[in-house]
């Protein structure tokens, strides 16, 4: 009886070739190709020169409106500012200043005005500057002379006229003052008094009204 047959194991020779030191271990993939530019529709001709000018004008007007709103937010409540509006591709600002126009240099700095005329006070342009690339024309109107002037900070109040606050309430000076000389204001028909400084700070800005406002409000 023949015994078990034992077969010798077979071997497969595997040769591993190491990469050459100058050969990259991995292949670098090429960069993706840039996408082709969109091809305009054959039925849509390019805009004419007149159409391009109209589009540019519309964009300039919209930019001027944006700048006007920004100026309104920044300084619209200042007592010197009477109106801010967009006029085509420019912005116009109406200031009301009292002689000798001491705050005019500060406004020139704010609006970037480098060449300015001495304000005549007749609502004529006193200077031009630029804000965010938009031309700004600043007009100055002379403020009326106060009959009973009182200066609080940079603002000159006329205690002879009533003032409307930001909430529509009308305040009057009835001749009473605090110990430090601060005018005391009151709402018509009420006994309570409030200092002009507090009314201006917490209910301002205050807008002067003609003396007949008390009759109209009543």
For residue 93, what is the domain's CATH number?
Answer: 3.30.460
127 and 93 both lie in a single domain: yes
Tell me, yes or no, whether 194 lies in a domain: yes
Q: Output the pLDDT for position 135.
A: 92
Would strands 90-97 and 134-142 be described as parallel, antiparallel, or unpaired?
A: parallel
Tell me, yes or no, whether 107 lies in a domain: yes
pLDDT digit string (tens) for 1-55? Answer: 555 555 555 544 544 444 444 444 444 444 444 545 555 566 678 888 888 889 9
Q: Does an H or E element contain 195, and which?
A: strand 194-195
Q: Is 21 exposed, middle or buried (0-12, 13-18, 19+ CB in 10 A)?
A: exposed
136 and 158 both lie in a single domain: no
Q: pTM of the prediction? A: 0.50
pLDDT digit string (tens) for 48-104? Answer: 888 888 999 999 999 999 999 999 999 988 888 989 999 999 999 999 887 778 888
The count of C-alpha atoms lying within 13 angstroms of the C-alpha of 112, restricted to the half-sphere facing its C-beta, is: 9
Mean pLDDT of the chain: 79
- 143 vs 65, residue with greater confidence: 65
Tell me, yes or no, whether 3 lies in a domain: no
User: At which of 142, 160, 182 does a domain end?
Assistant: 142
pLDDT digit string (tens) for 105-131? Answer: 899 999 988 777 777 666 666 889 988
76 and 97 both lie in a single domain: yes
Q: Output the pLDDT for position 31.
A: 45
Q: Output the pLDDT for position 200.
A: 93
Judge contact between 127 and 111, C-beta under 8 A: yes
Q: What is the DSSP string of 143-165?
A: PPPPSSEEEETTEEEETTS-EE-
Tell me, yes or no, whether 74 lies in a domain: yes
Judge contact between 48 and 30, C-beta under 8 A: no
User: Which residue segment(s) compose the domain that 68 sits in?
Assistant: 50-142
- Encoding tokens for residue 133? 């690339």
Domain count, the chain: 2
User: At which of 126, 142, 158 does a domain end?
Assistant: 142
118 and 177 both lie in a single domain: no
Q: How far apart are the C-alpha atoms of 95 and 93, rounded to whole Å?
A: 6
Looking up tokens 């018509």, which residue turns up? Answer: 188
């Amino acid at each position: 009886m023949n015994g078990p047959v034992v077969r010798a194991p077979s071997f497969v020779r595997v040769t591993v070739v190491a990469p050459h030191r100058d050969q990259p271990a991995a292949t670098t993939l090429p960069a993706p190709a840039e996408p082709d530019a969109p091809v305009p529709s054959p039925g849509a001709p390019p805009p004419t020169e007149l159409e391009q000018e109209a589009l540019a004008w519309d964009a300039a007007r919209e930019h001027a409106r944006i700048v006007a709103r920004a100026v309104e937010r920044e300084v619209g409540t200042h007592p010197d500012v009477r109106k801010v509006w967009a006029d085509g591709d420019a912005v116009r600002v109406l200031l009301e200043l009292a002689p000798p126009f001491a705050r005019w240099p500060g406004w020139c700095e704010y609006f970037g005005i480098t060449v300015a005329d001495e304000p005549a006070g007749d609502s004529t342009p006193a200077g031009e500057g630029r804000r965010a690339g938009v031309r700004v024309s600043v007009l100055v109107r002379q403020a009326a002379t106060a009959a009973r002037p009182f200066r609080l900070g940079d603002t000159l109040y006329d205690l002879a006229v009533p003032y409307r606050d930001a909430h529509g309430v009308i305040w009057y000076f009835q001749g009473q003052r605090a110990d430090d000389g601060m005018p005391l204001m009151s709402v018509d028909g009420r006994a309570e008094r409030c200092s002009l400084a507090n009314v201006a700070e917490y209910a301002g800005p205050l807008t002067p009204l003609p003396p007949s406002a008390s009759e109209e409000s009543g």
